């Protein structure tokens, strides 16, 4: 890293804001995808797939009964009714996991269980509740009380998958349904991207460990634990590195010292324009993104940006240092939360191969007025609910200032209020970024 320019206030306020979209683009360009490896199938849930996986057979591999009943020829039941059931001689009983020992010929049927192979000759299964058992000429007979259609209650061979059909693609988040499919096709181990390791540093002389008693002029470090939880929620592994003093040299050494242990670094605090904002002073020493034509991750250490056109969290900054992305967030909890949600979450997703790392967005109607305007787009914490009219409403939460934590747990989305001299009236349709 370059040396810290600790000279006067020149440049301290010379911070050009870029849009959230541009900040996301630069962060994603610096978010190096992690390596991949295999994990046991039982541990693959919630991971991102590293390569496309294909069906290893047709599925179902044979025509299967969809329920308990009798396998029949539909033509033999065409005239069946409760008053005049079709009497079919039972030639076999087929259990799940078994095989039929006799074909179903005209005038015969086979007792069959759910999931069992449909015997040759049968083209329908009649549910047990529509049948009765009897004897005719000393032989077991099924009395079918309803006409069956060809294909009724039969899952045809290959109905769901052909051999070589795609099960899931690279970057896909493996949900329980995927795990069932992978087990179905014999994938005992699964290629996934490694969980990104993210180092978390808090800066500020005022910070105390969570377990410490409060002291005058001090607060407990809540940001580190919050960011760690957000990292876990989105597939990463947090490395809690503790608090750092408001000294640029100490911060620089700490970031260097993490070395290859982390794929990404997140700091909280010290990014504003105060005399003791260590991260801001450190980042000012780096070449600016605009000064590095054609920037790529092979470029030297670079300040990607040090101001974003958003509220809360406009001092949010990012840099490329020692071959990894450094995301420097505000120390105000609300701004820290918003900054990581808008920039850290897409980065984590991209590092795990997610081809669509951005937030899902919906449109909702504001339930209450947001009175204050802002020179930057505002990302307002809201809860979401459907009204009796069937419309989706975004309800701005109380205690929404950048320094406040009370509403963080209730936030379900960030409603975007465009910049302007006024806020937004109740009933206005806004874009809401879902916090999932």
- For the segment 250-305, what is each residue's pLDDT rounded down to a tens digit? 888 999 899 889 999 999 987 876 555 788 888 988 999 999 999 998 899 999 99
Alpha carbon 41 to chain centroid, angstroms: 19
The pLDDT tens digits of the residues spanning 413-428 come to 999 999 988 889 999 9
Which CB contacts under 8 angstroms, 24+ apart, belong to 237-240?
A: 237/195, 237/196, 237/197, 237/198, 238/198, 238/200, 239/197, 239/198, 239/199, 239/200, 240/200
Q: Check whether 51 has a pLDDT greater than 50.
A: yes
* pTM of the predicted protein model: 0.85
Q: Are 268 and 329 in contact (CB under 8 A)?
A: yes
Q: Check whether 118 has a pLDDT greater than 80.
A: yes
Q: Which of 14, 97, 10, 32 is nearest to 320 (CA)?
A: 32
Q: What is the pLDDT of residue 372?
A: 79
Q: Check whether 13 has a pLDDT greater than 60.
A: no
Question: What's the chain's average pLDDT?
Answer: 91
User: What band does 9 get if pLDDT is binned at 50, 70 and 90?
Assistant: very low
The CA-based diameter of the chain, rounded to the nearest angstrom, is 108
Using a 10 angstrom Cβ sphere, with 0-12 exposed, 13-18 middle and 19 or more buried, the burial of residue 238 is: buried
Q: What is the pLDDT of residue 248?
A: 86
Q: Check whether 321 has a pLDDT greater than 60.
A: yes
Q: What is the pLDDT of residue 5?
A: 37
Alpha carbon separation from 29 to 22, 197, 282, 328, 355 (Å, rounded): 11, 18, 22, 16, 13
Which range, of 5-14, 116-125, 374-383, averages the lowest pLDDT? Answer: 5-14
The pLDDT tens digits of the residues spanning 233-243 come to 999 999 999 88
* 327: Cβ contacts below 8 Å, ≥ 6 apart: 27, 264, 265, 266, 267, 316, 317, 318, 339, 340, 343, 344, 347
In this structure, what token pair is assigned to residue 88? 């079919």
Q: Can you tell me the mean pLDDT for 69-80?
A: 97
Q: Please report where in the chains the tokens 């899902």 appear, as a residue.
A: 360
Domains annotated for the chain, with CATH where assigned, are 20-35+194-351 (3.40.980.10), 37-59+160-193 (3.90.105.10), 64-155 (2.170.190.11), 361-434 (2.40.340.10)
Q: What is the pLDDT of residue 403?
A: 64
Q: Check whether 6 has a pLDDT greater than 80.
A: no
Q: Which residue has the higher pLDDT, 249 or 193?
A: 193
From CA 258, how far away is CA 320, in angstroms rounded? 14
Burial pattern 114-138, b for ≥16 Cβ within 10 A else e, equals: eebbbbebbbbbbbbebbeeeeeee
Q: Please calculate the CA angle 358-360-362 and round it to the nearest 5 degrees.
A: 140
Q: Which residue has the higher pLDDT, 371 or 151?
A: 151
Q: Check whether 359 has a pLDDT greater than 90.
A: yes
From CA 313, how far away is CA 407, in angstroms rounded? 16
What residues are paired with 328 via a beta bridge? 267, 317
**E strand or H helix at 28, and its extent?**
helix 20-30
Q: Are 1 and 256 in contact (CB under 8 A)?
A: yes
The pLDDT tens digits of the residues spanning 302-313 come to 999 999 999 999
User: What band does 212 get if pLDDT is binned at 50, 70 and 90?
Assistant: confident
Q: Check whether 32 has a pLDDT greater than 70.
A: yes
User: What band does 103 get if pLDDT is binned at 50, 70 and 90?
Assistant: very high
From CA 432, how far away is CA 287, in angstroms rounded? 35
The pLDDT tens digits of the residues spanning 213-228 come to 888 888 888 899 999 9
The share of the chain scoring above pLDDT 90, in percent, equals: 76
* 253: Cβ contacts below 8 Å, ≥ 6 apart: none
Q: Please calculate the CA angle 42-33-361 and round it to the nearest 5 degrees.
A: 80
The share of the chain scoring above pLDDT 70, in percent, equals: 94
């Amino acid at each position: 890293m370059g040396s810290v320019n600790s000279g006067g206030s020149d440049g301290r306020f010379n911070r050009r804001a870029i849009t959230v979209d541009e900040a996301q683009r630069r962060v994603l360009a610096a978010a190096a995808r992690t390596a991949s490896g295999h994990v046991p199938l039982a541990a693959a849930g919630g991971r991102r797939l590293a390569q496309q996986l294909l069906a290893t057979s047709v599925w179902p591999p044979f025509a299967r009964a969809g329920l308990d009943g009798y396998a029949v020829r539909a033509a033999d039941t065409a005239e069946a009714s409760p008053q005049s059931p079709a009497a079919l001689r039972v030639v076999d009983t087929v259990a799940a996991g078994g095989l039929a020992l006799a074909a179903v010929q005209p005038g015969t049927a086979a007792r069959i269980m759910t999931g069992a192979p449909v015997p040759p000759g049968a083209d329908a299964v009649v549910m047990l509740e529509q049948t009765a058992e009897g004897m005719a000429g000393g032989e077991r007979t099924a009395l079918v009380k309803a006409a069956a259609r060809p294909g009724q209650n039969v899952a045809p061979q290959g109905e769901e998958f052909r051999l070589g059909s795609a099960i899931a693609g690279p970057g896909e988040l493996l949900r329980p349904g995927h795990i069932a499919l992978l087990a179905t096709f014999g994938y005992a181990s699964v290629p996934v991207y490694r969980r990104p390791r993210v180092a978390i540093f808090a800066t500020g002389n005022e910070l105390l460990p969570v377990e410490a008693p409060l002291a005058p002029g001090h607060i407990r470090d809540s940001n580190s634990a919050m960011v760690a939880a957000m990292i876990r929620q989105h597939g990463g592994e947090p490395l809690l590195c503790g608090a750092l003093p408001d000294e640029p040299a100490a911060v620089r050494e700490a970031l260097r010292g993490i070395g290859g242990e982390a794929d990404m670094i997140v700091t909280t605090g010290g990014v504003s324009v105060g005399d003791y904002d260590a991260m801001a002073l450190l980042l000012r020493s780096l070449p600016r993104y605009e000064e590095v034509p054609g920037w790529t991750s092979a470029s030297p250490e670079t300040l990607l940006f040090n101001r974003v056109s958003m509220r809360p969290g406009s001092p949010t900054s990012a840099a490329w240092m020692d071959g990894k992305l450094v995301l420097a967030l505000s120390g105000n909890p609300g701004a820290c939360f918003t900054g990581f949600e808008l920039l850290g979450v897409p980065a984590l997703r991209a590092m795990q191969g997610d081809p669509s790392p951005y937030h899902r967005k919906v449109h909702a109607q504001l339930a209450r007025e947001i009175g204050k305007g802002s020179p930057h787009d505002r990302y307002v914490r809201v809860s979401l609910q459907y009204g009796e009219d069937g419309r989706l409403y975004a309800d701005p939460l109380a205690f929404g200032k950048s320094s406040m934590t009370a509403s963080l747990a209730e936030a379900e989305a960030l409603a975007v209020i465009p910049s302007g001299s006024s806020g937004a009236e109740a009933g206005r349709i806004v874009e809401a970024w879902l916090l999932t």
